[in-house]
Amino acid sequence: MSDLRLDATQLDRYSRHVIMDEIGPEGQKRLLDGSVLTVGAGGLGSPAIQYLAAAGIGRLGIVDDDVVERSNLQRQIVHGDADVGRPKVDSAADHVAQLNPDIEVETYETRVTPDTVADLVADYDVVLDASDNFATRYLLNDHCVLTETPLSHGAIYRFEGQITTFTNERSGNESPPCYRCIFPEAPEPGTVPDCATTGVLGVLPGTVGCIQATEVVKFFLEKGDLLEGRLLMYDAMDMSFEEVPVQSNPSCPVCGDDPEIESVGDVAYEGTCEISAD
């Protein structure tokens, strides 16, 4: 860890953290020394990026190959009307710069693919999955399991959301659950409509993305209980939360007792994320 001293501006900016016994100057320095790769600068990525930057996560990577559309603005709060047509990574980076100039932002206007995932993830402590498709979720999961990189997962649908955390810390022959342990196979293409087809409550990703950001901050602080081994289900219509315990699957193809996936090249991610027969 770098020098624990905070300058006068930082002491002012992060004063509400510094005065907390659970954080203090040391905890704030942990945040400032931390790095997070956020995959997606849309509904989930927007609140996560905003609150991670405000909390003082020192380096944020933002991956997205899309441009801002006016229909995004109902929920994607790091973008504004003047940003319509701009790359989302540029709009999000400008938002962070205005919010907290302490933060180093690196942008990647690209898709996460089996060819790019290793280089994108390599220099970051944590990956926050704010993607909107199953192929990316499985790809990030598999790579993070294989490299033991912590991964924050969030997903939304209409009025509902889910969140969990995968630390991917292995101890001997034991491994914590991964995304494939919970969801062994992706739905067939076309069977799960996206928000452009079914809609989404605008405030829903704010709640889910903020919980993801909370998990990441707690990870760096090494405080509290993470959602590892627990899938948190949120229903905005009922205003209810349900916690579902999840366990590692010994037959999981990536983290099980006899894994079949030894490289992300072993999986056809654009289909149903099945293991390649080659």
Calculate the average pLDDT of the chain: 93
Tens-place pLDDT, residues 241-257: 999 999 999 999 999 99
Tens-place pLDDT, residues 6-55: 999 999 999 999 999 999 999 999 999 999 999 999 999 999 999 999 99
> Residue 149's pLDDT is what?
98
Tens-place pLDDT, residues 89-124: 999 999 999 999 999 999 999 999 999 999 999 999
Written as one letter, the residue type at 116 is: T
∠ CA 46-150-270, nearest 5°, is: 70
Q: Which residue in the list 178, 195, 252, 273 is annotated as catalytic?
A: 195
- Please, what is the end-to-end C-alpha distance for the chain in angstroms? 44
Mean pLDDT of 160-189: 88
Asked whether the beta carbons of 205 and 156 are under 8 A apart, the reply is yes
> Residue 195's pLDDT is what?
67
> Residue 186's pLDDT is what?
85
* 195 is known as an active-site residue: yes
Asked whether the beta carbons of 70 and 100 are under 8 A apart, the reply is no
Q: Which of 246, 213, 226 is nearest to 167 (CA)?
A: 226
> Residue 4's pLDDT is what?
66
Token reading at 70: 């006016």
Burial bucket for residue 64 (CB in 10 Å: 0-12, 13-18, 19+): buried
Q: Which of 276, 269, 259 is nearest to 186 (CA)?
A: 269
Question: Alpha-carbon distance 17 to 217, whole Å?
Answer: 12
Residue 251 sits at φ, ψ, to 5 deg, of -95, 5
Written as one letter, the residue type at 138 is: Y
Question: Alpha-carbon distance 127 to 48, whole Å?
Answer: 12
| CATH number of this structure's domain 20-275 | 3.40.50.720
pLDDT value at 225 more than 50: yes
Top-confidence residue, 230 or 190: 230
Mean pLDDT of 126-152: 97
Tens-place pLDDT, residues 32-42: 999 999 999 99
User: Strand 230-235 to strand 160-166: parallel, antiparallel, or no bridges (unpaired)?
Assistant: antiparallel
In the chain, the percentage of residues whose pLDDT exceeds 90 is 85
> Residue 274's pLDDT is what?
58
pLDDT value at 174 more than 90: no
Token reading at 228: 């590892």
Asked whether the beta carbons of 100 and 53 are under 8 A apart, the reply is yes
Question: Alpha-carbon distance 253 to 257, whole Å?
Answer: 8
Question: Alpha-carbon distance 273 to 142, whole Å?
Answer: 10
Q: How far is CA 145 from the centre of its chain?
A: 14
